[in-house]
Structure 1
Amino acid sequence: MTEQGRTWKVGELARLTGLTVRTLHHYEHVGLVRASGRTAAGHRLYGEADLRRLYRVLALRDLGLSLEAIGGLLDGGPDLEGLLGGQLAQVERRIDALTALRGRLAAVLAAARAGGLSSDHLLGIIEGMSDVQGSMESYFTPEQLAELERRREEGGERAAEQAAAWPGLIAEVEAAMASGTDPASPEARELARRWTALLEEFHRGDGPMRDSLFRMYRENSAEIQSEYGGPSPEMIDFITRASAAGG
């Protein structure tokens, strides 16, 4: 509680509020909190009304509002509900981004703990995740991306194992094709079964999710193959024929 008519010099106010004198000068410069009085020597004097306004500024700042928005609000500008609604939307977007980052970090950490990956390989995975995320945003809806991130977060090491299974399976298919394996052979049908199982782990029978995945591949097959070692169109054709042969 303050006494009626009490005033504070700028240094006193800084100590009271935990702010720096420089910050208080800046708040005055931008018109947020001005000293309502002066000493005989011309030094700033802040009154109780100034202190109340300063505490309002600090409370709104703690909600993440910009100084410009705070000034407008205190001077009768935009309504508080609208400002807080916009701020909440920004916070939720940051939470979504951090949740996505957490999922990616968990997947990379699981791969690192599994062993056998060099630092360069891990960095390549991280860079690839960033590139793939940008591509996926062009083909998957926000709801689908959120669902994928949820699965990745919940999947932990299992999600990393699934991702790590692809390079080996692609290499096996490539070797089978190079050796002239018949797509109708039991070996080819088993490769197709494993391929389909990995795909189903991704889309889980969700038709629109599967369609988004296939569309992304169709429109970026060359880049996916060259940059990430993804399957070639010939491999896809081989697996398709092997699946058909297996019924």
Structure 2
Amino acid sequence: MEPITFKVGDLSKRTGLSIRTLHYYDEIKLLSPSHRTESGYRVYGKEDIIRLQQIIALKQIGLSLEDVRSCLDNSDRTFIEVLQLHIAKVRKQIDLSQQLLERLENVEQTVANLDVIPIEEILQIIQVMDMLENYYSPEQLEILKQRQELLGEERMQQAKVDWETLIAQVQAEMEKGTDPASEVVQVLVRRRQALIQEFTGGDPELESALKQMYEQGEDSVSDWGENDASLAAYMSRALQC
């Protein structure tokens, strides 16, 4: 019986992970195809699929990619132990969801019966919702928070200053009419990319999510985008050079 194997495109379709992400995992030696077809194509086998599940589970638990690698390569943690960690997190999510549901139902009954909005209960609902957001928000948001903790408050504050300075410099070049392809602007582009790289840890999914969240106007990343439309267009042209 032929072993079950997947090319990168097939694995992407079956898991929902982007090809870019799988290539990145391969590039950093976190997960590489361990089999080859007769024609020489590298393909993922059963053991690779199991490792991929562990990678995703550990990321959802809250580990950085480097910590995931360390956990999988330098520990005796078994597949079942990783599953148990993931199960514990999901159970916590379920518990919080149940708490939220009960509180929402209580508020609904109070408003329906007494025509009074219970502010104390609303405050508790907000608290539970905030806790849930930390679990249920997109995985990239969780990683963003981890990166903030890893970099530390002092570095984050300095990065914000560096970013604001950078944006002001780009704004000045735009107002002077400097060609986005010029070396002076390209130096600023490279500095911009370095700051984003530091903030995201080089995670391609996170960089993509950061861009998407900025485009959707998320407040959580507003400090990392160019809020002025003309400045954003100018930077977009510079990035394409």
Larger of the two Rg values belongs to structure: 1
TM class by shorter chain equals 0.3 to 0.5
- TM-score (norm: length of structure 2): 0.39
- TM-score (norm: length of structure 1): 0.38
